[in-house]
Amino acid sequence: MPTSWWIGFNVMVLFLLALDLGVFNRKAHAVSVKEALGWSALWVSLAVGFGLWIGQAMGRQAMLEFYAGYLVEQALSVDNLFVFILIFGYFRVPQELQHRVLFWGILGALLMRGAMIGAGAILLAQFHWIIYVFGAFLVYTGFKMAFGGGSDIAPEQNPVIRLVRRFVPLTTRFHGERFFVREAIEPGGALRRVATPLFVVLVLVETTDVVFAVDSIPAIFGVTRNPFLVYTSNVFAILGLRSLYFVLANIIGRFHLLKYGLSVVLAFVGVKMLLSEWRPIGIGVSLGIVAGVLVGSVLLSLVIPPRPDRDATT
């Protein structure tokens, strides 16, 4: 890909993020469902428009690969959203502060995903056999997601959080949108720079995203090997994550069968990678299967009532 494409795309992303935080969301506030729906529609529209540009610049095959990658990444991000809900609930983060945490968390995720995608592309170029490792890993992950029970978090057992609390002085009070403040650790003591609970939440969100990226990065390489398409579809999915969170935060529990749909998607992509040398599956077929499985699992969730002992939300 021309270097100008990479530079232009990243400049556009930085501009959109600056516009989001510096203009439209300068003041902390609780994001309403209506506002979140508007932002979600905007991010999806931008992704669709970018895909159309990909079609003009690189051809129909590349456009379908971009859309398939975007759909896979957007679907897998649902797991992130559920864990974010648990994290915010555990630390009792006020609604008006959640958007700011997600903004900076996603900014960090963009940097880490970029590094992981670059590493994945190099590995695939140098060691072609690793595609089979990725494929087997995705099949295993899909099986584990379907039959491994619901997700849970244990912040106190998170090694990164333990490290933060060991080396960074912490205050137990929120101080608005600030991650660090000057405060006396003991009554009457000297003022010190301490981290607020909001910083601890941000660290936990970042480390959680790294864990989920271990699944999602191999999955998107199963859809396309083009690093530019992998990166751009991943970025668009991440950019829409915040608004999707506020849309789904109150209704995500209704989609109790979605985890099975996601597990099928992961397993399908894994099998696609394993068979890539013998029976390659066309991108149009892949896109149709992924979309059909996800839509089907959502519709079935609305029709079939959940059972308390099973079908736990991811």
The per-residue pLDDT for range 157-182, each reduced to its tens digit, is: 667 777 777 888 877 788 888 888 88
| 204 closest CA partner among 117, 118, 109 | 109
The 10 Å Cβ neighbour count of residue 135 is 22
Phi, psi of 312 (to 5 degrees): -65, 140
Give residue-wise pLDDT tens across range 289-304. 877 887 888 788 888 8
Q: pTM score, two decimals?
A: 0.72
| Tokens, residue 121 | 């592309």
pLDDT above 80 for 43:
yes
For residue 314, what pLDDT band results from cuts at 50, 70 and 90? Answer: very low
CA pair distance 151, 219, nearest whole angstrom: 20
Q: HSE (CB half, 13 Å, CA atoms) of 277?
A: 7
The pLDDT value recorded for residue 54 is 95
| Tokens, residue 197 | 């609970």
Q: Among 2-16, 152-166, 252-266, 300-314, which range has the highest average pLDDT? A: 2-16
CA pair distance 109, 81, nearest whole angstrom: 14
pLDDT above 70 for 29:
no
Residues 6+ apart with CB under 8 A from 76: 212, 215, 216, 219, 262, 265, 266
Give residue-wise pLDDT tens across range 49-64. 999 999 999 999 999 9
The pLDDT value recorded for residue 154 is 59
